[in-house]
Amino acid sequence: MKIAIIEAWRKELVERRKSAKAAQQAARSGTRVDGSHRPANRGERGAVTAQGYLALGLGQRATELTENLRLLEEMGTDPRETLVVGAVGRVQIEGSAPKAVAIVPGGDATWLDVDLGSGLERVQYLSAASPLIHQLSGCSTGDSEEVELGGKVLEVRIIECL
């Protein structure tokens, strides 16, 4: 189960990096200035400059995604006893159904449907710095904690931690 959940996140990061690199290439093509492509006025020069900044930002995003993939590889899949980076758990926030969470590098609250063999499981990918996980750091299976989310204090129960 845990390996499938981590592999789904790896695949998502790879796709995001691929998209960022493709968009960067497209933005770079808008910065081409040569004999036949010279900006004719100030507005066109501004557009070329904006495309350059966009290409730079997309390149930085691709680099960030590459780093997250490296950290994901280093993280490993061995069991975790507490909700820390590398843990997959099931938590129940007061007044809602239990949900599966994975604490991974680059986690940004994305929801993915993961095929676990026995059916699809909806998993939310969070970073260790997310408001929920930050407050639950160090908690393990069976623990309950009061956390502040969205200006409300709610009880969260850790049903499972892998």
Do 71 and 94 belong to one domain? no
Same domain membership, residue 59 and residue 107:
no
pLDDT in tens, 134-162: 999 889 999 999 999 889 999 999 999 99
**Domain range for 45:** 2-75
Cβ contact 158:140 at 8 Å: yes
In a domain, 81, yes or no: no
Is 97 found in the same domain as 63?
no
Q: Look at the chain and report how many structural domains it folds into.
A: 2
Determine what percent of the chain is predicted with pLDDT higher than 70: 93
Q: Are both 94 and 150 inside the same structural domain?
A: yes
List Cα–Cα distances, 157 to 21, 143, 154, in angstroms: 40, 6, 10
Q: Looking at the structure, tell me whether residues 17 and 55 fall in a common domain.
A: yes
- Judge whether residue 32 has pLDDT over 70: no
Q: Phi then psi for 100, rounded to 5 degrees?
A: -90, 135
pLDDT at residue 72 is higher than 80? yes
Helix 42-75 vs helix 2-29: crossing angle, to nearest 10 = 160
Q: Please report the pLDDT score of residue 24 as a whole number.
A: 93
Portion of the chain with pLDDT greater than 90, in percent: 76
